[in-house]
Amino acid sequence: MSVPAATIPAYSISLDAPEHAAAVEALYDDVFGPGRFAKTAERLREGNSKIVDASLVAVDSEGLTGVVRVWPVTVGETGRAAFLGPIAVAERRRGNGVAFKLMERAIGVCREQGYAAVILVGDLDYYDRFGFKSAEGRFQLPGPVNQKRVLIRDLSERAGKLAGMLGVPR
């Protein structure tokens, strides 16, 4: 059952800052559980620094209600892309457009900063609404991954040339 719009408290989107760290980790634990650290995508976050302007939180009167983090990655020998994830929305806000607003703003920042594409590991049935499509086996990750779940959203004409191993910039 959806809640009438008039009863949904307003929320704001801002940069994911150090003061959000505990609430972000609690939301990630609630949504994904502790097993999230074992996933291959986590290897692209370890030792990496998030793209500050594209990593965002949504906050309402009850506190943190959503988060998206985005990371720079190398692609093959010379490519550069943004790696999105994880994104999480508190149960009280699901279905109210929070994920859409976080994703669109984060992707817009990546486009403005010159990234050729945004890559993620997720379900195409969910992410196609954000313009993602199958990466068709173009990318390898630093560990096992279901290639059907590797998705891309092109941000420039350069995206079509991206292929190879994803890595953490050094």
Domains, the chain: 5-167 (3.40.630.30)
Residue 60, beta-bridge partner list: 11, 63
Distances in Å between the alpha carbon of 116 and those of 1, 17, 91, 106?
Answer: 39, 25, 32, 14
- Kindly state the greatest CA–CA separation across the chain: 51
Which tens digits make up the pLDDT trace of 47-61?
A: 999 999 999 999 999
- Helix ranges (H only) for the chain are 21-32, 98-112, 124-127
Give 149's Cβ-side CA count (13 Å radius): 12
Phi, psi of 62 (to 5 degrees): -95, -5
Evaluate if residue 37 carries a pLDDT over 90: no
* Of the candidates 115, 60, 112, 119, the residue with the CA atom closest to the CA atom of residue 90: 60
**What is the pLDDT at residue 1?**
46
Q: What mean pLDDT comes out for the span 74-87?
A: 94
Q: Per-residue b/e over 127-151, b at no fewer than 16 CB within 10 Å?
A: beebebeebeebbbbeeebeeeebb
Which tens digits make up the pLDDT trace of 101-117?
A: 999 999 999 999 999 99
pTM over 0.75: yes
Q: Is 55 helix (H, G, I), strand (E, B) or coil?
A: coil
Q: Per-residue b/e over 114-124, b at no fewer than 16 CB within 10 Å?
A: ebbbbbbbbee
